Structure 1
């Protein structure tokens, strides 16, 4: 009884130290690589639906739905590393500016959006290569050379601003909104298991992020997937699918979508949200998986960092 009273009066243990930028990056890289390998078919299905090329036989064929899996896995690790690391650095700076107080909810969301936008500098060219390899086949080296020959470095960064907007919203969901929603659920339903609260927060955050960001994703995919326009075989001495499209403006993509929808607002919205279900499912799973993997890896990264510093 005395021991329990002493324990009850003891101050709570100090919170674990914040991870360093390198530790945040390592955790983010591991979470991103694991998710990319598991969810690659959904990324392929989403891109095919958005480009109005979806065929069930190809969608179920691993030779097609795992096209680009190598670049996806290799590219997502540094991307999520940047997202976790930039978010962590921003949160630490905000905390320092507030005299050690925790950031507000809006500040936490802004830090997460900054991490997502920063990652677009890496993600935009990688996804452009992935989409065009899925569409035209060939090696990554050949596709890179074709894009640079046709459009230069600007072509590799086609739709980078759209990628930044999409990733900012997505990171706001999984790095900030999901943990906040998990805490909200735990406060109001303390009888629920932590995993159930995390799942509920992931579903709400992932669904919201997917709904808000999907039009940006559709425009990005169509702009990057339309890097080479169709032409008769042998036109200008180039294969049909590799004749460069000279107009890389978002305006062209929007006009193409308006023509395809015949002026119907409802049809235009349907095109804007093409591929919504597979992408939303993936974002919800990403949000849950990133949160779970990061929660499991942070103590390990913290322990390894402490041992290296000792």
Structure 2
């Protein structure tokens, strides 16, 4: 998915502990033109830029796409990241400049590695009536960010634990391990929790974690989590406690990873290291350079998405808070 904001801000990550829960509230961002679908974005934001190497979290739907434009994201570029597509309902057609043509379907992971540069398009299919899912980005470390373009698909089996069903699409949880390759230690899992049930999951205390609420009445530890918001749990926690306090099943995504200690700049759809690098990516995209290749088979109102204008100031990394939950007072001090 593309970041279609016309004035995207640059972001940083650095890493250094305590446990607790910090709620990151979502903001709505339009995905496209006048009838665009709205997505709820919890990462990045000024309060926190990353959770592990997870650097971008968009959550959308359930959207009746028979009444809206649905998802129609024309070819756009990426560098230095992996995109993670996860659907709860509907279907999205993916095409990229590595020649991959694939469908994103509920319960199936599609992971695209941009490496040094890729372009892709995403379009909800005509058969889709309700579109509902999440689009996530993972920042690549310096050792992998100049790698080749790549694509991986995995349909994890559902795993029953006491009071819940898990689908582990990245990393390891509850004895299940995903075969999908990542370049830093990560965790990604869908969790559906029975009504009036609390689950306690053993996790790595070397990871920081985020719980993205999709539906239902959820609490993380003793903190209520509104739908679309993201609960952050810092380093040192060997367990994550999630409760469904409602009378219907609740669903969330559990994301985690070791703190990402490299300084990076995120601007528009690029992850880089310096202002000059980001500016060069933008110029190469605008000049149709080979770095990003071309997407074959996309049919839409526009051939590609033009890059926004760079800000007049120099793009610099933005400090990420230490990997521990911040209090509301901390947030006011940081702003």
- Whether TM-score is above 0.5 comes out as no
Structure 1 or 2: more strand by fraction = 2
Structure 1 or 2: more helix by fraction = 1
Flag the structure with larger Rg: 1
TM-score for the superposition, normalised by structure 2: 0.22
TM-score for the superposition, normalised by structure 1: 0.23
